[in-house]
Amino acid sequence: MVIGHEIGHGFDDKGSRYDGTGALNNWWTDEDYEEFNKRTHALVEQYNAYTPVGLDPEKFRVNGELTLGENIGDLAGLSIAIEAYKIALEQQGINSLEDAPVLDGMSAAQRLLWSTAQGWRTKSRPQHAEMMISVDPHSPDEFRVNGTVRNIDEFYTAFGVTEGDQLYLPPEERVRIWL
């Protein structure tokens, strides 16, 4: 996932301003750039609504503009990891995540998503969370997981997430930047 995240930076709000030779160059068509901005704006709005656990939502929210590049990277990284896992399964003759064996009571998709979440487990003191939310270009770790998976269709299938569940987003509100 980390490699996919870093590759995603080449196509985030900053990296996408450079062409294939590394030169600062607007290579976008007007139509593509407008669509990219529409999608990234939706991601900004999602993250602007998040407040870390333990902080006052009237005072502290994630700054979706500040964290946009990292949020794009997180979304790209998980999307790429899922696609890579599907390819690896296909090479073993398994045609979908759903057809992969269940191990220790978890499906392939559940294991992948669970392992991603475990990598971001943290606990912060409120004072540290307040400071980080104002200066760090990364979203708080809880949203590097929950903010990302809400936009991934495989998450809904893997865990049976439906309308009314806390992390549910209607399909038309799920952001897909590239994949």
Q: Helical H runs in 57-96?
A: 68-91
Q: Both tokens of residue 60?
A: 């502290």
3-state secondary structure of 106: strand
Measure the CA–CA gap between 177 and 179, rounded to whole angstroms: 6
Q: Are 153 and 113 in contact (CB under 8 A)?
A: no
Please list the residues that pair with 106 across neighbouring strands.
103
Active site residues: 6, 74
